[in-house]
Protein backbone atom coordinates (compact mmCIF):
# COMPACT_ATOMS: atom_id res chain seq x y z
CA UNK A 1 0.00 0.00 0.00
CA UNK A 2 1.49 3.37 -1.01
CA UNK A 3 2.14 5.91 1.76
CA UNK A 4 -0.01 8.99 2.25
CA UNK A 5 2.35 11.43 0.54
CA UNK A 6 2.58 9.25 -2.56
CA UNK A 7 -1.19 9.00 -2.68
CA UNK A 8 -1.68 12.75 -2.32
CA UNK A 9 0.79 13.36 -5.14
CA UNK A 10 -1.01 10.83 -7.31
CA UNK A 11 -4.35 12.47 -6.64
CA UNK A 12 -2.98 15.86 -7.68
CA UNK A 13 -1.41 14.23 -10.75
CA UNK A 14 -4.76 12.82 -11.81
CA UNK A 15 -6.25 16.25 -12.10
CA UNK A 16 -3.52 17.27 -14.55
CA UNK A 17 -3.89 14.11 -16.56
CA UNK A 18 -7.64 14.64 -16.87
CA UNK A 19 -7.19 18.25 -17.90
CA UNK A 20 -4.53 17.25 -20.40
CA UNK A 21 -6.75 14.58 -21.93
CA UNK A 22 -9.66 16.96 -22.40
CA UNK A 23 -7.32 19.55 -23.93
CA UNK A 24 -5.86 16.98 -26.28
CA UNK A 25 -9.33 15.94 -27.40
CA UNK A 26 -9.79 19.40 -28.83
CA UNK A 27 -6.23 19.63 -30.09
CA UNK A 28 -6.22 16.33 -32.01
CA UNK A 29 -8.63 17.80 -34.55
CA UNK A 30 -5.90 20.25 -35.50
CA UNK A 31 -3.74 17.38 -36.72
CA UNK A 32 -3.96 16.71 -40.44
CA UNK A 33 -6.22 13.74 -41.14
CA UNK A 34 -4.24 10.52 -41.37
CA UNK A 35 -2.36 7.98 -39.32
CA UNK A 36 -1.23 10.33 -36.59
CA UNK A 37 -4.67 11.72 -35.95
CA UNK A 38 -6.13 8.22 -35.82
CA UNK A 39 -3.44 7.08 -33.40
CA UNK A 40 -4.11 10.10 -31.18
CA UNK A 41 -7.82 9.37 -31.33
CA UNK A 42 -7.28 5.76 -30.24
CA UNK A 43 -4.99 6.72 -27.36
CA UNK A 44 -7.43 9.32 -26.10
CA UNK A 45 -10.33 6.87 -26.13
CA UNK A 46 -8.25 4.39 -24.16
CA UNK A 47 -7.08 7.03 -21.70
CA UNK A 48 -10.66 8.11 -21.12
CA UNK A 49 -11.65 4.53 -20.33
CA UNK A 50 -8.75 3.82 -18.04
CA UNK A 51 -8.55 7.01 -16.06
CA UNK A 52 -11.80 6.47 -14.11
CA UNK A 53 -10.72 2.92 -13.19
CA UNK A 54 -7.32 4.07 -11.96
CA UNK A 55 -8.96 6.99 -10.20
CA UNK A 56 -11.35 4.70 -8.34
CA UNK A 57 -8.40 2.55 -7.23
CA UNK A 58 -6.63 5.62 -5.98
CA UNK A 59 -9.73 6.83 -4.14
CA UNK A 60 -9.96 3.46 -2.43
CA UNK A 61 -6.32 3.71 -1.37
CA UNK A 62 -7.14 7.14 0.04
CA UNK A 63 -9.86 5.58 2.18
CA UNK A 64 -12.89 6.57 0.13
CA UNK A 65 -15.68 4.08 -0.28
CA UNK A 66 -16.73 2.95 -3.71
CA UNK A 67 -20.28 2.32 -4.85
CA UNK A 68 -20.85 -0.70 -7.05
CA UNK A 69 -23.83 0.75 -8.87
CA UNK A 70 -21.67 1.39 -11.91
CA UNK A 71 -18.38 0.50 -13.55
CA UNK A 72 -15.91 2.05 -13.13
CA UNK A 73 -17.10 2.29 -9.52
CA UNK A 74 -18.47 5.61 -8.35
CA UNK A 75 -16.47 7.35 -5.62
CA UNK A 76 -18.65 8.14 -2.61
CA UNK A 77 -18.15 11.62 -1.23
CA UNK A 78 -19.04 12.70 2.27
CA UNK A 79 -21.85 15.19 1.91
CA UNK A 80 -25.10 16.12 3.60
CA UNK A 81 -25.91 16.62 7.26
CA UNK A 82 -24.57 14.68 9.10
CA UNK A 83 -21.83 14.07 6.50
CA UNK A 84 -22.02 10.50 5.21
CA UNK A 85 -20.46 8.82 2.21
CA UNK A 86 -22.97 9.32 -0.58
CA UNK A 87 -22.85 8.01 -4.14
CA UNK A 88 -23.06 10.86 -6.67
CA UNK A 89 -24.54 8.48 -9.25
CA UNK A 90 -27.28 6.50 -7.49
CA UNK A 91 -27.66 8.55 -4.31
CA UNK A 92 -27.05 5.60 -1.99
CA UNK A 93 -25.93 6.63 1.47
CA UNK A 94 -23.46 4.38 3.25
CA UNK A 95 -24.76 3.08 6.56
CA UNK A 96 -28.37 3.86 5.72
CA UNK A 97 -30.56 0.84 5.21
CA UNK A 98 -31.56 0.59 1.59
CA UNK A 99 -35.05 1.99 1.30
CA UNK A 100 -37.72 -0.48 0.40
CA UNK A 101 -38.95 0.08 -3.13
CA UNK A 102 -42.54 -0.78 -3.87
CA UNK A 103 -43.58 -2.10 -7.26
CA UNK A 104 -45.12 0.20 -9.85
CA UNK A 105 -48.58 -1.22 -9.10
CA UNK A 106 -48.18 -0.74 -5.37
CA UNK A 107 -47.06 2.81 -6.03
CA UNK A 108 -50.19 3.35 -8.13
CA UNK A 109 -52.31 2.07 -5.25
CA UNK A 110 -50.59 4.44 -2.85
CA UNK A 111 -51.00 7.29 -5.27
CA UNK A 112 -54.69 6.62 -5.77
CA UNK A 113 -55.23 6.84 -2.02
CA UNK A 114 -53.86 10.40 -1.97
CA UNK A 115 -57.33 11.71 -2.75
CA UNK A 116 -59.23 9.18 -0.70
CA UNK A 117 -62.25 10.72 1.02
CA UNK A 118 -62.30 10.90 4.79
CA UNK A 119 -62.88 7.41 6.10
CA UNK A 120 -61.17 5.70 3.21
CA UNK A 121 -61.88 3.70 0.07
CA UNK A 122 -62.76 0.00 -0.22
CA UNK A 123 -60.30 -2.26 -2.05
CA UNK A 124 -62.71 -2.92 -4.91
CA UNK A 125 -62.83 0.80 -5.82
CA UNK A 126 -59.03 1.02 -5.66
CA UNK A 127 -58.83 -2.02 -7.96
CA UNK A 128 -61.18 -0.47 -10.52
CA UNK A 129 -59.31 2.82 -10.64
CA UNK A 130 -55.80 1.39 -10.67
CA UNK A 131 -56.77 -1.29 -13.18
CA UNK A 132 -55.89 -4.41 -11.21
CA UNK A 133 -57.88 -7.41 -9.96
CA UNK A 134 -59.78 -6.82 -6.70
CA UNK A 135 -57.97 -9.71 -5.02
CA UNK A 136 -54.65 -8.15 -5.93
CA UNK A 137 -55.73 -4.76 -4.59
CA UNK A 138 -56.81 -6.43 -1.36
CA UNK A 139 -53.46 -8.15 -1.09
CA UNK A 140 -51.49 -4.94 -1.73
CA UNK A 141 -53.61 -2.89 0.65
CA UNK A 142 -53.33 -5.50 3.35
CA UNK A 143 -49.54 -5.69 3.13
CA UNK A 144 -49.23 -1.90 2.80
CA UNK A 145 -51.30 -1.47 5.94
CA UNK A 146 -49.14 -4.00 7.78
CA UNK A 147 -46.07 -1.92 6.98
CA UNK A 148 -47.81 1.26 8.12
CA UNK A 149 -48.03 2.95 4.72
CA UNK A 150 -51.77 2.66 4.58
CA UNK A 151 -54.42 2.85 7.28
CA UNK A 152 -57.52 0.71 7.41
CA UNK A 153 -60.98 1.41 8.81
CA UNK A 154 -62.89 -1.71 9.65
CA UNK A 155 -66.61 -1.34 9.68
CA UNK A 156 -69.34 -3.75 10.60
CA UNK A 157 -71.52 -2.53 7.75
CA UNK A 158 -69.21 -2.96 4.77
CA UNK A 159 -65.78 -3.90 3.50
CA UNK A 160 -62.65 -2.36 5.12
CA UNK A 161 -61.77 1.09 3.81
CA UNK A 162 -58.24 2.23 3.22
CA UNK A 163 -56.55 5.61 3.44
CA UNK A 164 -53.00 6.90 3.07
CA UNK A 165 -50.91 7.13 6.24
CA UNK A 166 -48.22 9.76 6.77
CA UNK A 167 -45.52 7.15 6.00
CA UNK A 168 -47.17 6.40 2.66
CA UNK A 169 -47.35 10.07 1.83
CA UNK A 170 -43.68 10.40 2.83
CA UNK A 171 -42.75 7.55 0.51
CA UNK A 172 -44.52 9.22 -2.45
CA UNK A 173 -42.83 12.53 -1.70
CA UNK A 174 -39.40 10.90 -1.46
CA UNK A 175 -39.94 9.09 -4.74
CA UNK A 176 -41.13 12.30 -6.37
CA UNK A 177 -44.59 10.87 -7.05
CA UNK A 178 -46.54 13.56 -5.29
Nearer to Zn ion, 87 or 127 (CB): 87
Nearer to Zn ion, 75 or 127 (CB): 75
Q: For residues 138 and 141, give the distance between their C-alpha atoms in angstroms, rounded to a whole number.
A: 5
Smallest distance from Zn ion to CB 96, Å: 13
Nearer to Zn ion, 86 or 108 (CB): 86
Binding mask 10-49 for Zn ion (x = CB under 5 A): ----------------------------------------
Nearer to Zn ion, 74 or 172 (CB): 74
Does residue 90 belong to the site contacting Zn ion (CB under 5 A)? yes
Binding mask 57-86 for Zn ion (x = CB under 5 A): ----------x-x----x------------
Q: For residues 149 and 89, give the distance between their C-alpha atoms in angstroms, rounded to a whole number.
A: 28
Nearer to Zn ion, 21 or 66 (CB): 66
Does residue 87 belong to the site contacting Zn ion (CB under 5 A)? yes
Q: For residues 43 and 107, give the distance between their C-alpha atoms in angstroms, rounded to a whole number.
A: 47
What is the DSSP annotation of 61-86? HTT-EEETTSSSPEEEEEETTTTEEE
Sheet of 74-79, strands arranged across: 65-67, 74-79, 84-86
Residue of 18, 89, 7 whose CA lies nearest to 52: 18
Number of residues that bind Zn ion (CB under 5 A): 7
Q: Say if CB 149 and CB 99 are below 8 A apart.
A: no
Which residues are at the interface with Zn ion (CB under 5 A)? 67, 69, 74, 87, 89-90, 92
Amino acid sequence: MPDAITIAALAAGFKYVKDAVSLLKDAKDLLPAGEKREAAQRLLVEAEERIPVAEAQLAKALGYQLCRCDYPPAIMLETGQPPRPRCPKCGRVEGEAAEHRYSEEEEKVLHFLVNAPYGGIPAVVVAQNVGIAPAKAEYYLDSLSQSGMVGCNLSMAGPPEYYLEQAGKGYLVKRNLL
